[in-house]
């Protein structure tokens, strides 16, 4: 098994991406360009965590974890814009945002742990 499969932050990022894909499928009024960008940014979180875990040096790993954290912020901003522009709200949106906040905090801890 690959190391990233054991990381709780990876598991949460993967779940978040799948939740976002479900959110996008159920809200057909969201234009394709928003749909594509939100899907890509949430996928980027997951993939950069996985790629970072495969790096040899702590500085390389840390770099990818920082990129993944930036993608969380991009995902939150896109979700915020989409929901405001298309008057979308509800439990799913709140759950996705809460999960992204948790992921961001976990990534911050991971990044800080690599500074030593």
Return the DSSP state at 28: T
Range of the domain at 48: 3-113
Single out the residue of 40, 56, 51, 42 nearest to residue 14, CA to CA: 42
Token couple for 16:
């978040």
Task: Walk along the chain (116 residues) and give the pLDDT tens digit of each residue.
Answer: 788 999 999 999 999 999 999 999 999 999 999 999 999 999 999 999 999 999 999 999 999 999 999 999 999 999 999 998 888 777 888 899 999 999 999 999 999 998 86
Task: Give the C-alpha separation, 111 to 61, whole Å.
Answer: 9
How many structural domains is the chain composed of?
1
Task: Give the C-alpha separation, 35 to 19, whole Å.
Answer: 13
Report phi then psi at 12, rounded to 5.
-70, -40
Return the DSSP state at 58: H
Mapped onto helix, strand or coil, the DSSP state of residue 31 is coil
Q: What pTM was estimated for this model as a whole? A: 0.91
Tell me, what CATH number does 56's domain have? 1.20.1440.60
pLDDT tens across 32-51, in order? Answer: 999 999 999 999 999 999 99
């Amino acid at each position: 098994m690959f190391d990233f499969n054991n990381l709780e932050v990876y598991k949460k990022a993967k779940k978040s991406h799948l939740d976002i894909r479900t959110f996008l499928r159920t809200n057909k009024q969201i234009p394709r360009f928003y749909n594509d960008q939100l899907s890509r940014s949430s996928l980027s979180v997951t993939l950069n965590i996985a790629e970072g875990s495969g790096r040899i040096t702590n500085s390389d790993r840390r770099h990818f974890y920082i990129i993944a954290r930036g993608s969380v912020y991009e995902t939150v901003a896109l979700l915020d814009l989409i929901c405001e522009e298309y008057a979308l709200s509800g439990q799913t949106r709140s759950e996705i945002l809460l999960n992204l906040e948790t992921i961001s905090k976990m990534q911050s801890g991971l990044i800080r742990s690599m500074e030593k």
